Amino acid sequence: MKVPPRPPGPPQRFLTGSFREFRTDLLGFLERSARQYGDVVSFRLGRRPCLLVNHPDLIESVLVKNSRNFIKPFAFRFTRAVLGNGLLTSEGSFWLRQRRLAAGAFQAERIAGYGPDMVSSAVRMLANWRDGETRDIHADMMQVTLGIVARTLFGADVTEQSHEIGESLLLALRSFGANFSRRIPLPSWIPTSGNRKARAAVRGLNGVVRQIIDRRRHETQPRADLLSMMLHARDEDGSQMTDEQLLDEVRTFLLAGHETTAITLSWTLYLLANHPHEQARLHAELDTVLAGRLPEVADLARLPIAGRIVQEAMRLYPPAFMIGRENVAEFELGGYTIPAGTTIFMSQWVMHRDGRFYDRPEQFEPERWAAPSIQSLPKMAYFPFGAGPRVCIGNSFAMMESVLLLATIAQQWSLAPVADHPIRLAPVLTLRPRHGIKVVLHRRQNAETGPCETGGAIPLTVQPRSSADV
């Protein structure tokens, strides 16, 4: 049978291809392309050949079954100015070594031990909330998750530097977005305004990270967190990580480790504020299971509604809304022969809203994740953390953190939407809310003397989870 020369796709401009649509309306472009042209869509970004893949079997072929044939795409080269050669951007044997090293910090028993820090961090945040006030919960989630990553993985308190780190991350994302939106991306060494700001942001971040590393090197008491593992790890030849490698990895985990969880929680709370029935169901579950005490890791299995709410929020608003790969050799996909060097995009935003796999895909329905509803769902129709060898190393950490923080917040507070606050999506590296997410806070009546008002020590008994995907 004759192989078609290339997959169908939207009309292309002579020089720029689909660059304008990709830059100005990324999510809309992805959705329209998938719905109009099918499971494999061909387009160009400038001279670069691209595919959009829109079927679970084909996505599995790229991310899982043939993962050795792919590397990170060209767009990730722009992030190296911020993340360096860290776990998100590195390739080959170096990436594998770093991945194996970091995996020890994300084993099931170790993740369970992070639970008390997560809950106590949420309690400290809630101490600043007031009944009836309007808050930007996205800003709150960014700050609390940054503190959790710093404490649990690096044993550091970055409360005083949290604003600086947040601003640096925002500058870095803006620099990446500006460069990615150019028809001809500019190297990071060209002294544009955006590049100068990005370099300044990295210098500020490196200053914070060096302080964390230097303090740890002078400690006499041993620790078992990720930073200690990286400081003491030795390669097969006996060499240790260089200072530059340490900076890259700590910076990567500090930034990426809190960004996606903060976005997950922000959209989760936004959805609950706009769906009072689901919020009431969550409150009832928390009141029954927790009976007024703070949540613990051992409670996670008894909070199915909370877990489903987080899963559904990540379906509708996946923090990582698109994954890219570039094939290093020619291969066949969906009946087409794909030349080497093609950039292949797979979008969680598109797949998670595909009516072939989800009833009422635009609706917020957490119970769709209850058995037996999910048993017929194809594996790669839902992949918020990616898949294959490069699946997010912190997926279990992020899920546990999301559910524990959600339970701690919702136990004490109910949320209502702010009618005149604009909700706009900002898809760059992650799916941020462009103007934040504002809600009105209402203290729950049965929580007036609850644990969030004590301000004292919080004794928590932590039990390891029975299983975890790390």
Higher pLDDT pick, 418 / 3: 418
pLDDT score for 181: 56
Query: What is the DSSP secondary-structure string of 27-47?
Result: HHHHHHHHHHH-SEEEEEETT
pLDDT score for 246: 85
The lowest-confidence range among 32-41, 144-153, 172-181, 276-285 is 172-181
Q: Which band of pLDDT confidence, cut at 50, 70 and 90, is reported for residue 75?
A: low
Question: What is the percentage of the chain residues whose pLDDT exceeds 90?
Answer: 57
pLDDT score for 470: 28
What are the pLDDT digits (tens) for 100-137? 878 878 888 889 999 999 999 999 999 999 999 999 99
Mean pLDDT score of the chain = 86
Rounded to whole angstroms, how far apart are CA atoms 193 and 313? Answer: 36
pLDDT score for 13: 93
Rounded to whole angstroms, how far apart are CA atoms 98 and 87? Answer: 7
Residue in the block written with tokens 């993962």? 67
Which range is most confident: 80-84, 92-96, 360-364? 360-364
CA distances from 143 to 226, 327, 341, 416 (A): 20, 37, 39, 21
User: In this structure, are residues 50 and 44 in contact, taking their beta carbons and an 8 Å threshold?
Assistant: yes
What count of Cα atoms within 13 Å lies in the side-chain half-sphere of residue 306?
29
Q: Is the pLDDT of residue 139 over 90?
A: yes
The lowest-confidence range among 157-166, 440-449, 451-460 is 451-460
Neighbouring residues of 41: CB distance < 8 A, sequence distance ≥ 6: 7, 8, 9, 10, 33, 34, 51, 52, 53, 54
pLDDT score for 273: 98
Across 348-372, average pLDDT: 95
pLDDT score for 98: 82
Across 322-334, average pLDDT: 95
pLDDT score for 469: 31
Higher pLDDT pick, 470 / 428: 428
pLDDT score for 78: 61
Residue 268 is given by DSSP the state H
pLDDT score for 109: 86
The lowest-confidence range among 167-181, 272-286, 446-460 is 446-460
Question: Closest Cα partner for 118 from 316, 366, 312, 300?
Answer: 300
Q: Is the pLDDT of residue 258 over 60?
A: yes
pLDDT score for 76: 66
Q: Which band of pLDDT confidence, cut at 50, 70 and 90, is reported for residue 307?
A: very high
What are the pLDDT digits (tens) for 366-401? 999 998 878 889 999 999 999 999 999 999 999 999
Question: Closest Cα partner for 137 from 457, 405, 466?
Answer: 405
pLDDT score for 459: 36
Q: Is the pLDDT of residue 464 over 50?
A: no
> What pTM does this model have?
0.89
Q: How many CB atoms lie within 10 A of CB 372?
A: 6
pLDDT score for 460: 34
Which range is most confident: 186-200, 227-241, 276-290? 276-290
Across 276-296, average pLDDT: 97
Higher pLDDT pick, 314 / 213: 314
Q: Which band of pLDDT confidence, cut at 50, 70 and 90, is reported for residue 175?
A: low
The lowest-confidence range among 49-53, 159-163, 244-248 is 159-163
Residue 288 is given by DSSP the state H
The lowest-confidence range among 2-6, 76-80, 186-190, 462-466 is 462-466
